[in-house]
Amino acid sequence: MNAFIQGLPKVELHLHIEGSLEPELLFTLAQRNNINLPYSSPEALRKAYEFDDLQSFLDIYYQGANALITEQDFYDLTWAYLQRCHSDKVMHTEIFFDPQTHTERGIAFDTVINGIYRALQDGQHKLAISSHIIMCFLRHLSEESAIDTLKRALDHKDKIIGVGLDSSEQGHPPKKFQNVFTQARDEGFLTVAHAGEEGPAQNIVDAIDILGVSRVDHGVRCVDSPELLDSLVESQMPLTVCPLSNIKLRVFDDMSQHNIVELLRRGVAVTINSDDPAYFGGYMTDNFQAVSAAHAMTYNELAQFTLNAIDASFIDPSLKHEYRRRVEEYLGKSI
């Protein structure tokens, strides 16, 4: 089973590029940029990655992002992630970035996006990995700040396919961002939002109805509402589920309690993703393996996660067709 998972072609739809900053690279960047870290070594930092909930993670995650200063830093961060994608057989990835985390501390929007974009272009040319960029608004900040960020993104419309919503879900419901999401859609951006990770099922309903999302990020609390569950099956609204993240942030007690396989079997369009792999203990293959170790699944079920992700992705129909063909070819060889 592990060999099947390792070789399975994959598509990632929920990855915060700042969350792929490994302690070793963080130390390299801190040294390069003359930043003092309150840890003696990458190992000591890794030991601090014990979280009680989303907020305790976010505090450490924003601290880590402070080491990112130059365009080259953002390039190196993204390039390191793409190399992991390459070993994990990821054909396509749609990555989030949090511009406000950087602009709030004086880093130019252009510095961030240009570094990430240049690495993704190299990923396409040198590793044959296709990609899109999604810009997330931080929901603990105001809607005015999100509107200001949207304005800065207009010069980079060619590089950014959509907007999303991340950070602290509790106390910051989708409705707070209704206006900026309407403006983003009017400008031609696709929309996604984190909802139903720690927050209630109603946030999933509101992300769909008020923010007009094409996908729901996380969404695992949908099981609290039977009507919502039925409508997700009916509409085939995709959920970008992040299994290792959910365990690390204590959304579920352990992987055997996770509902992703139950949702798959109910016919919900669930996908497997890594969220913040440097902090949560694993990239795409690790996430597939952790789910499979806790829930017996067939090859077809495992491949269904990739087929769901291909359908849910923002790639054009001909490339979707080619990626589906690769999964089917792999299944044909494996069975």
Instruction: Tell me: does residue 219 bind ligand HPA (CB under 6 A).
Output: no
In whole angstroms, the minimum distance from the beta carbon of 217 to ligand HPA comes to 8
In whole angstroms, the minimum distance from the beta carbon of 245 to ligand HPA comes to 5
Transcribe 147-212 into DSSP letters. Answer: HHHHHHHGGGTTTEEEEEEES--TT--GGGGHHHHHHHHHTT-EEEEEESSSS-HHHHHHHHHTT-
Instruction: Tell me: does residue 221 bind ligand HPA (CB under 6 A).
Output: no
Nearest-5° angle of CA 311, CA 176, CA 200? Answer: 65
Instruction: Tell me: does residue 198 bind Zn ion (CB under 5 A).
Output: no
Cα separation of 210 and 5, whole Å? Answer: 37
Question: Does 102 belong to an annotated binding site?
Answer: no
Q: Of 71, 94, 166, 206, which one interacts with ligand HPA (CB under 6 A)?
A: 166
Backbone angles phi, psi at 161, to 5 degrees: -90, -25
Question: Does 316 belong to an annotated binding site?
Answer: no
Q: Of 37-45, 52-60, 271-279, 288-296, which segment contacts Zn ion by CB under 5 A?
A: 271-279
Query: CB–CB of 169/199 below 8 Å?
Result: yes
Q: Of 30-38, 86-94, 132-140, 270-278, which segment contacts Zn ion by CB under 5 A?
A: 270-278
Radius of gyration of the chain (CA): 19
Q: Of 12, 76, 275, 286, which one interacts with Zn ion (CB under 5 A)?
A: 275
Transcribe 117-148 into DSSP letters. Answer: HHHHHHHHHHH--EEEEEEEEETTS-HHHHHH
Site mask, ligand HPA, residues 272-291, x = CB under 6 A?
Answer: ---xx---------------
Q: Which residue has the tokens 């139950």?
A: 262
275 or 286: CB nearest ligand HPA: 275
Question: Does 14 belong to an annotated binding site?
Answer: yes
* 197 catalytic residue (yes or no): yes
Task: Using CB positions, name the residue nearest to ligand HPA.
Answer: 166
Cα separation of 113 and 155, whole Å? Answer: 11
Show binding-site residues for substrate. Answer: 276
Question: What is the contact surface with ligand HPA in residues (CB under 6 A)?
Answer: 16, 19, 54, 166-167, 194, 197, 245, 275-276
